[in-house]
Amino acid sequence: MEQLTSSGKITVSWHHRVLKCRDAFQAEGPALASLFQTEEGPSRVLIVIDAGLDAAQPELRANVMHWMQQHPEAVTPSGPPLIVLGGEQAKQDHVVFDQVVQAVHQRRICRQSYILAIGGGAMLDAVGLAAATAHRGVRLVRLPSTTLSQADAGVSVKNGINAFGAKNLIGTFAPPWAVINDATLLPTLDDVFWRGGLSEAVKVGLLKDPDLLTMIEESTSDLNNRDLDAMERIVTATANLHVNHIVSGGDPFEISRARPLDFGHWSAHQLEQMTGTRLSHGDAVGIGLLIDLQYAALELGASSALVNRVADCLASLGFPTHSDAMTDEDRLLEGIERFREHLGGKLAITMVTQPGLSMEIDQMDAHAVRQALRLVRSRGQERSLRAG
Protein backbone atom coordinates (compact mmCIF):
# COMPACT_ATOMS: atom_id res chain seq x y z
CA MET A 1 0.00 0.00 0.00
CA GLU A 2 2.63 2.50 1.07
CA GLN A 3 5.15 3.72 -1.44
CA LEU A 4 8.53 5.14 -0.65
CA THR A 5 8.55 8.42 -2.55
CA SER A 6 11.81 9.85 -1.39
CA SER A 7 14.68 8.73 0.71
CA GLY A 8 18.29 9.52 1.38
CA LYS A 9 21.07 9.66 3.88
CA ILE A 10 21.64 12.79 5.91
CA THR A 11 25.20 13.12 7.13
CA VAL A 12 26.42 15.92 9.35
CA SER A 13 29.91 16.46 10.69
CA TRP A 14 31.28 18.58 13.49
CA HIS A 15 34.78 19.25 14.66
CA HIS A 16 35.25 18.48 18.36
CA ARG A 17 38.09 20.49 19.91
CA VAL A 18 39.37 20.43 23.47
CA LEU A 19 42.13 22.88 24.43
CA LYS A 20 43.90 23.28 27.72
CA CYS A 21 45.41 26.43 29.12
CA ARG A 22 46.06 28.49 32.21
CA ASP A 23 44.61 31.96 32.78
CA ALA A 24 42.61 31.89 29.55
CA PHE A 25 41.61 35.53 29.77
CA GLN A 26 44.99 36.89 30.67
CA ALA A 27 46.69 35.35 27.68
CA GLU A 28 48.33 37.73 25.26
CA GLY A 29 48.41 35.34 22.33
CA PRO A 30 45.67 35.10 19.75
CA ALA A 31 44.93 31.38 20.11
CA LEU A 32 41.75 31.75 22.15
CA ALA A 33 40.63 34.78 20.16
CA SER A 34 41.08 32.89 16.91
CA LEU A 35 38.27 30.53 17.95
CA PHE A 36 35.84 33.40 17.49
CA GLN A 37 37.23 35.41 14.61
CA THR A 38 35.66 34.84 11.21
CA GLU A 39 36.57 36.06 7.75
CA GLU A 40 33.89 38.66 8.09
CA GLY A 41 35.25 40.05 11.33
CA PRO A 42 34.52 39.79 15.01
CA SER A 43 31.72 37.60 16.42
CA ARG A 44 29.10 38.57 18.95
CA VAL A 45 29.50 36.71 22.20
CA LEU A 46 27.09 36.15 25.08
CA ILE A 47 29.11 35.42 28.22
CA VAL A 48 27.41 33.27 30.86
CA ILE A 49 29.07 32.62 34.23
CA ASP A 50 28.10 30.18 36.99
CA ALA A 51 27.16 32.14 40.14
CA GLY A 52 29.20 29.76 42.30
CA LEU A 53 32.32 30.41 40.26
CA ASP A 54 31.56 34.12 40.18
CA ALA A 55 31.50 34.16 43.98
CA ALA A 56 34.74 32.15 44.25
CA GLN A 57 36.62 34.11 41.58
CA PRO A 58 35.03 37.57 41.54
CA GLU A 59 37.75 38.98 39.30
CA LEU A 60 36.74 36.64 36.47
CA ARG A 61 33.97 38.87 35.07
CA ALA A 62 36.31 41.79 34.68
CA ASN A 63 39.05 39.58 33.25
CA VAL A 64 36.74 38.24 30.54
CA MET A 65 35.51 41.70 29.60
CA HIS A 66 39.07 43.04 29.58
CA TRP A 67 40.22 40.18 27.36
CA MET A 68 37.36 40.91 24.97
CA GLN A 69 38.27 44.58 24.82
CA GLN A 70 41.81 43.57 23.90
CA HIS A 71 40.60 41.44 20.98
CA PRO A 72 38.16 43.64 19.08
CA GLU A 73 39.22 41.94 15.83
CA ALA A 74 37.76 38.67 17.13
CA VAL A 75 35.01 39.32 19.65
CA THR A 76 32.25 41.79 20.42
CA PRO A 77 30.66 41.26 23.84
CA SER A 78 26.88 41.44 23.64
CA GLY A 79 26.75 43.00 27.10
CA PRO A 80 28.02 42.23 30.59
CA PRO A 81 28.31 38.58 31.64
CA LEU A 82 25.03 36.93 32.52
CA ILE A 83 25.39 35.33 35.94
CA VAL A 84 23.21 32.23 36.39
CA LEU A 85 22.63 29.70 39.15
CA GLY A 86 25.18 26.92 39.38
CA GLY A 87 25.07 23.41 40.80
CA GLU A 88 22.20 20.98 40.38
CA GLN A 89 19.76 23.89 40.84
CA ALA A 90 20.83 25.14 37.40
CA LYS A 91 19.11 22.21 35.74
CA GLN A 92 16.36 21.53 38.28
CA ASP A 93 13.87 23.45 36.11
CA HIS A 94 13.90 25.73 33.08
CA VAL A 95 14.84 29.00 34.82
CA VAL A 96 18.48 29.10 33.69
CA PHE A 97 17.52 27.73 30.28
CA ASP A 98 14.94 30.52 29.89
CA GLN A 99 17.37 33.21 31.05
CA VAL A 100 19.87 32.21 28.40
CA VAL A 101 17.32 31.88 25.59
CA GLN A 102 15.88 35.27 26.48
CA ALA A 103 19.37 36.82 26.50
CA VAL A 104 20.05 35.26 23.08
CA HIS A 105 16.93 36.97 21.82
CA GLN A 106 17.41 40.33 23.54
CA ARG A 107 21.10 40.64 22.76
CA ARG A 108 20.68 39.62 19.13
CA ILE A 109 22.81 36.51 19.32
CA CYS A 110 22.40 34.62 16.04
CA ARG A 111 23.36 31.19 14.71
CA GLN A 112 26.85 32.48 13.83
CA SER A 113 27.32 34.12 17.24
CA TYR A 114 28.75 32.46 20.34
CA ILE A 115 27.80 31.64 23.86
CA LEU A 116 30.84 31.48 26.12
CA ALA A 117 29.75 29.45 29.15
CA ILE A 118 31.99 29.27 32.21
CA GLY A 119 30.93 27.05 35.06
CA GLY A 120 30.32 23.61 36.49
CA GLY A 121 28.77 20.62 34.78
CA ALA A 122 25.16 21.22 35.76
CA MET A 123 25.28 24.86 34.68
CA LEU A 124 26.96 23.86 31.40
CA ASP A 125 24.19 21.30 30.86
CA ALA A 126 21.45 23.91 31.20
CA VAL A 127 23.27 26.61 29.21
CA GLY A 128 24.21 24.00 26.63
CA LEU A 129 20.57 23.08 26.06
CA ALA A 130 19.76 26.75 25.57
CA ALA A 131 22.67 27.15 23.14
CA ALA A 132 21.67 24.02 21.24
CA THR A 133 18.05 25.07 20.80
CA ALA A 134 18.00 28.90 20.63
CA HIS A 135 17.67 29.65 16.90
CA ARG A 136 18.13 25.87 16.49
CA GLY A 137 21.72 26.15 17.63
CA VAL A 138 24.14 28.90 18.60
CA ARG A 139 27.87 28.14 18.77
CA LEU A 140 28.91 27.13 22.28
CA VAL A 141 32.36 27.52 23.80
CA ARG A 142 32.56 25.83 27.19
CA LEU A 143 35.01 26.58 29.98
CA PRO A 144 34.24 23.89 32.56
CA SER A 145 35.20 25.10 36.03
CA THR A 146 35.31 21.88 38.06
CA THR A 147 37.55 18.83 37.85
CA LEU A 148 34.49 16.71 37.08
CA SER A 149 33.24 18.89 34.24
CA GLN A 150 36.73 19.33 32.77
CA ALA A 151 37.22 15.57 32.81
CA ASP A 152 33.75 14.50 31.75
CA ALA A 153 30.52 16.41 31.07
CA GLY A 154 32.25 19.57 29.85
CA VAL A 155 33.94 17.73 26.99
CA SER A 156 30.84 15.69 26.10
CA VAL A 157 28.35 16.29 23.30
CA LYS A 158 25.35 16.18 25.62
CA ASN A 159 23.31 18.69 27.55
CA GLY A 160 20.10 18.49 29.55
CA ILE A 161 17.81 19.71 32.27
CA ASN A 162 15.51 17.87 34.65
CA ALA A 163 11.73 17.97 34.21
CA PHE A 164 8.69 16.33 35.81
CA GLY A 165 10.99 14.95 38.48
CA ALA A 166 13.16 13.08 35.98
CA LYS A 167 16.88 13.75 35.62
CA ASN A 168 18.01 14.94 32.19
CA LEU A 169 14.52 14.38 30.78
CA ILE A 170 15.01 17.23 28.28
CA GLY A 171 18.25 17.56 26.37
CA THR A 172 20.04 17.15 23.06
CA PHE A 173 23.23 15.85 21.56
CA ALA A 174 25.10 18.92 20.33
CA PRO A 175 28.86 19.09 19.84
CA PRO A 176 30.28 22.30 21.31
CA TRP A 177 32.29 24.67 19.09
CA ALA A 178 35.22 24.20 21.46
CA VAL A 179 36.00 23.28 25.06
CA ILE A 180 38.74 25.08 26.97
CA ASN A 181 40.02 23.36 30.10
CA ASP A 182 41.59 26.14 32.13
CA ALA A 183 43.28 24.70 35.23
CA THR A 184 43.32 28.10 36.95
CA LEU A 185 39.57 27.79 37.46
CA LEU A 186 40.14 24.83 39.82
CA PRO A 187 42.09 25.97 42.93
CA THR A 188 39.10 27.72 44.51
CA LEU A 189 37.03 24.52 44.56
CA ASP A 190 36.17 23.03 47.97
CA ASP A 191 37.46 19.56 48.77
CA VAL A 192 34.42 17.68 47.50
CA PHE A 193 34.57 19.45 44.13
CA TRP A 194 38.35 19.34 43.98
CA ARG A 195 38.28 15.54 44.15
CA GLY A 196 34.99 15.38 42.22
CA GLY A 197 36.49 14.45 38.85
CA LEU A 198 38.82 11.81 40.21
CA SER A 199 36.23 9.04 40.61
CA GLU A 200 35.38 9.51 36.92
CA ALA A 201 39.12 9.36 36.22
CA VAL A 202 39.35 6.08 38.15
CA LYS A 203 36.35 4.80 36.19
CA VAL A 204 37.83 5.67 32.80
CA GLY A 205 41.19 4.25 33.89
CA LEU A 206 39.49 0.98 34.84
CA LEU A 207 37.61 0.86 31.55
CA LYS A 208 40.19 2.03 29.09
CA ASP A 209 43.60 2.83 30.45
CA PRO A 210 45.28 0.91 33.31
CA ASP A 211 48.17 3.42 33.18
CA LEU A 212 45.79 6.21 34.16
CA LEU A 213 44.73 4.19 37.20
CA THR A 214 48.38 3.79 38.19
CA MET A 215 49.03 7.49 37.57
CA ILE A 216 46.19 8.39 39.94
CA GLU A 217 47.46 6.00 42.61
CA GLU A 218 50.95 7.49 42.37
CA SER A 219 49.57 11.03 42.57
CA THR A 220 47.34 10.72 45.61
CA SER A 221 49.48 12.79 47.95
CA ASP A 222 50.08 15.49 45.29
CA LEU A 223 46.38 15.57 44.60
CA ASN A 224 45.55 15.81 48.29
CA ASN A 225 48.06 18.65 48.54
CA ARG A 226 46.24 20.52 45.77
CA ASP A 227 49.04 20.20 43.22
CA LEU A 228 47.55 21.81 40.11
CA ASP A 229 50.01 20.16 37.70
CA ALA A 230 49.06 16.71 38.99
CA MET A 231 45.35 17.47 38.73
CA GLU A 232 45.72 18.93 35.25
CA ARG A 233 47.57 15.81 34.05
CA ILE A 234 44.82 13.49 35.29
CA VAL A 235 41.97 15.69 34.11
CA THR A 236 43.57 15.99 30.67
CA ALA A 237 44.15 12.26 30.34
CA THR A 238 40.56 11.55 31.40
CA ALA A 239 39.09 14.20 29.11
CA ASN A 240 41.11 12.83 26.19
CA LEU A 241 39.80 9.32 26.79
CA HIS A 242 36.27 10.70 26.86
CA VAL A 243 36.76 12.67 23.64
CA ASN A 244 38.32 9.64 22.02
CA HIS A 245 35.31 7.55 22.97
CA ILE A 246 32.95 10.14 21.47
CA VAL A 247 34.97 10.63 18.28
CA SER A 248 36.03 7.03 17.65
CA GLY A 249 33.38 5.03 19.49
CA GLY A 250 31.17 4.85 16.42
CA ASP A 251 28.03 6.18 18.06
CA PRO A 252 28.57 9.73 19.32
CA PHE A 253 24.84 10.41 19.66
CA GLU A 254 24.17 7.06 21.36
CA ILE A 255 21.65 5.97 18.77
CA SER A 256 22.35 2.32 19.53
CA ARG A 257 21.92 1.07 23.07
CA ALA A 258 25.34 0.53 24.52
CA ARG A 259 26.87 3.27 26.63
CA PRO A 260 30.13 1.72 27.76
CA LEU A 261 31.24 4.76 29.80
CA ASP A 262 28.33 4.39 32.21
CA PHE A 263 30.15 1.85 34.40
CA GLY A 264 29.12 2.29 38.03
CA HIS A 265 26.40 4.74 37.15
CA TRP A 266 23.12 2.92 37.69
CA SER A 267 23.72 2.96 41.46
CA ALA A 268 25.46 6.35 41.46
CA HIS A 269 22.42 8.06 39.94
CA GLN A 270 20.10 6.25 42.32
CA LEU A 271 22.23 7.10 45.39
CA GLU A 272 22.22 10.77 44.36
CA GLN A 273 18.44 10.64 44.04
CA MET A 274 18.02 8.81 47.38
CA THR A 275 20.22 11.25 49.28
CA GLY A 276 18.64 14.31 47.67
CA THR A 277 22.04 15.00 46.09
CA ARG A 278 23.66 15.36 49.55
CA LEU A 279 26.03 12.85 48.00
CA SER A 280 27.89 14.65 45.22
CA HIS A 281 28.04 13.04 41.78
CA GLY A 282 31.76 12.43 42.17
CA ASP A 283 31.30 10.74 45.55
CA ALA A 284 28.32 8.72 44.30
CA VAL A 285 30.31 7.49 41.29
CA GLY A 286 33.09 6.32 43.60
CA ILE A 287 30.63 4.19 45.56
CA GLY A 288 28.95 3.05 42.35
CA LEU A 289 32.27 1.79 41.01
CA LEU A 290 32.83 -0.27 44.14
CA ILE A 291 29.35 -1.79 43.93
CA ASP A 292 29.79 -2.84 40.31
CA LEU A 293 33.33 -4.09 40.88
CA GLN A 294 32.16 -6.13 43.86
CA TYR A 295 29.36 -7.54 41.73
CA ALA A 296 31.92 -8.41 39.04
CA ALA A 297 34.02 -10.14 41.69
CA LEU A 298 31.03 -12.20 42.82
CA GLU A 299 29.61 -13.04 39.41
CA LEU A 300 32.04 -12.34 36.60
CA GLY A 301 35.48 -13.41 37.79
CA ALA A 302 36.95 -10.05 38.80
CA SER A 303 39.40 -10.36 41.68
CA SER A 304 38.77 -9.22 45.24
CA ALA A 305 42.21 -7.63 45.04
CA LEU A 306 40.91 -5.26 42.35
CA VAL A 307 37.95 -4.23 44.50
CA ASN A 308 40.29 -3.53 47.40
CA ARG A 309 42.78 -1.71 45.22
CA VAL A 310 40.12 0.67 43.90
CA ALA A 311 38.61 1.14 47.37
CA ASP A 312 42.08 2.01 48.72
CA CYS A 313 42.68 4.46 45.89
CA LEU A 314 39.33 6.20 46.35
CA ALA A 315 39.68 6.32 50.13
CA SER A 316 43.16 7.79 49.90
CA LEU A 317 41.74 10.57 47.74
CA GLY A 318 39.14 11.38 50.39
CA PHE A 319 36.16 9.64 48.74
CA PRO A 320 33.60 7.87 50.93
CA THR A 321 33.53 4.15 50.18
CA HIS A 322 30.01 3.49 51.37
CA SER A 323 26.80 5.35 52.14
CA ASP A 324 24.05 4.74 54.70
CA ALA A 325 21.60 4.93 51.80
CA MET A 326 22.89 1.50 50.75
CA THR A 327 20.85 -0.11 53.53
CA ASP A 328 17.68 0.61 51.57
CA GLU A 329 18.51 -2.16 49.13
CA ASP A 330 15.07 -2.33 47.54
CA ARG A 331 15.12 1.30 46.59
CA LEU A 332 18.71 1.15 45.40
CA LEU A 333 17.88 -1.82 43.17
CA GLU A 334 15.20 0.27 41.48
CA GLY A 335 18.16 2.09 39.94
CA ILE A 336 18.70 -0.89 37.63
CA GLU A 337 15.16 -0.61 36.30
CA ARG A 338 15.49 3.15 35.91
CA PHE A 339 18.71 2.68 34.03
CA ARG A 340 17.03 0.14 31.76
CA GLU A 341 14.24 2.60 31.03
CA HIS A 342 16.76 5.35 30.40
CA LEU A 343 18.62 3.18 27.87
CA GLY A 344 15.38 2.15 26.25
CA GLY A 345 13.96 -1.23 26.93
CA LYS A 346 17.02 -3.39 26.96
CA LEU A 347 19.52 -3.27 29.80
CA ALA A 348 23.19 -2.87 28.93
CA ILE A 349 25.61 -2.45 31.80
CA THR A 350 29.33 -2.35 31.29
CA MET A 351 31.33 -4.31 33.83
CA VAL A 352 35.07 -4.20 34.39
CA THR A 353 36.72 -7.51 35.19
CA GLN A 354 40.35 -6.35 35.03
CA PRO A 355 41.81 -2.89 34.53
CA GLY A 356 41.37 -2.20 30.81
CA LEU A 357 39.10 -5.20 30.28
CA SER A 358 35.34 -4.79 30.25
CA MET A 359 32.27 -6.68 29.16
CA GLU A 360 28.63 -5.81 28.70
CA ILE A 361 25.89 -7.63 30.57
CA ASP A 362 22.16 -7.42 29.91
CA GLN A 363 20.90 -8.40 33.35
CA MET A 364 22.03 -8.30 36.96
CA ASP A 365 21.20 -10.97 39.50
CA ALA A 366 19.31 -9.23 42.31
CA HIS A 367 20.59 -11.61 44.98
CA ALA A 368 24.21 -10.98 43.96
CA VAL A 369 23.62 -7.24 43.85
CA ARG A 370 22.31 -7.33 47.42
CA GLN A 371 25.32 -9.34 48.49
CA ALA A 372 27.64 -6.87 46.78
CA LEU A 373 25.91 -3.96 48.52
CA ARG A 374 26.42 -5.59 51.93
CA LEU A 375 30.06 -6.43 51.26
CA VAL A 376 30.88 -2.92 50.04
CA ARG A 377 29.05 -1.40 52.96
CA SER A 378 30.64 -3.56 55.67
CA ARG A 379 34.12 -3.02 54.25
CA GLY A 380 33.43 0.69 54.01
CA GLN A 381 32.32 0.77 57.62
CA GLU A 382 35.43 -1.15 58.75
CA ARG A 383 37.56 1.30 56.82
CA SER A 384 35.80 4.25 58.48
CA LEU A 385 36.35 2.72 61.91
CA ARG A 386 40.03 2.11 61.19
CA ALA A 387 40.41 5.65 59.86
CA GLY A 388 38.38 7.11 62.71
Options 225, 276, 305, 345; binder of its own copies; rule CB under 8 A: 345
Tell me if 167 contacts its own copies by CB under 8 A.
no
Among 185, 216, 246, 336, binds its own copies (CB under 8 A): 246
Out of 95, 247, 300, 368, the only residue in the binding site for its own copies (CB under 8 A) is: 247
Segment near its own copies (CB under 8 A), from 61-69, 80-88, 188-196, 251-259?
Answer: 251-259
352 φ, ψ (degrees, to nearest 5): -95, 130
Residue of the chain from 72, 226, 253, 324 that contacts its own copies (CB under 8 A): 253
**Distance (Å, whole) CA 194 – CA 198:** 8
User: In angstroms, what is the minimal distance from the CB of 316 to its own copies?
Assistant: 27
Measured from the CB atom, the residue of 257 and 309 that comes closer to its own copies is 257
Contact, 294 vs 355, CB < 8 A? no
Q: For residue 43, what are the contacts with CB-CB under 8 A and spacing of at least 6?
A: 36, 37, 74, 75, 76, 112, 113, 114, 139
Pairing, β 161-163 against β 166-170? antiparallel
Enumerate residues 104-163 that contact its own copies by CB under 8 A.
104-106, 108, 110-113, 129, 132-137, 155, 157-158, 160, 163
Residue 66 in contact with its own copies, rule: CB under 8 A: no
CB nearer to its own copies: give 240 or 358. Answer: 240
**Contact track, its own copies, 87-106, x by CB under 8 A:** --------------xx-xxx
Distance CA 220, CA 11 (A): 44
Q: Would you call 169 helix, strand, or coil by DSSP?
A: strand
Contact residues for 98 (Cβ-Cβ < 8 A; gap 6+): none
Exactly one of 18, 75, 185, 325 binds its own copies (CB under 8 A); which one? 18
Q: How far is the CB of 141 from its own copies (least distance, A)?
A: 12
Question: What count of other Cβ atoms lies within 10 Å of the Cβ of residue 24?
Answer: 23
- DSSP, res 94: S
Residues touching its own copies, count (CB under 8 A): 83
Residues 37-56, interacting with its own copies (CB under 8 A): 40, 44
* DSSP line for 239-250: HHHHHHHHHHSS
User: What one-character DSSP code corresponds to residue 81?
Assistant: P
Measured from the CB of residue 214, what is the shortest distance to its own copies in angstroms? 20
Which residue in the set 344, 354, 363, 384 belongs to the binding site for its own copies (CB under 8 A)?
344
Is 175 one of the binding residues for its own copies (CB under 8 A)? yes
Query: Residue 173 carries which DSSP code?
Result: B
Please tell me whether residue 330 adopts helix, strand or coil conformation: helix
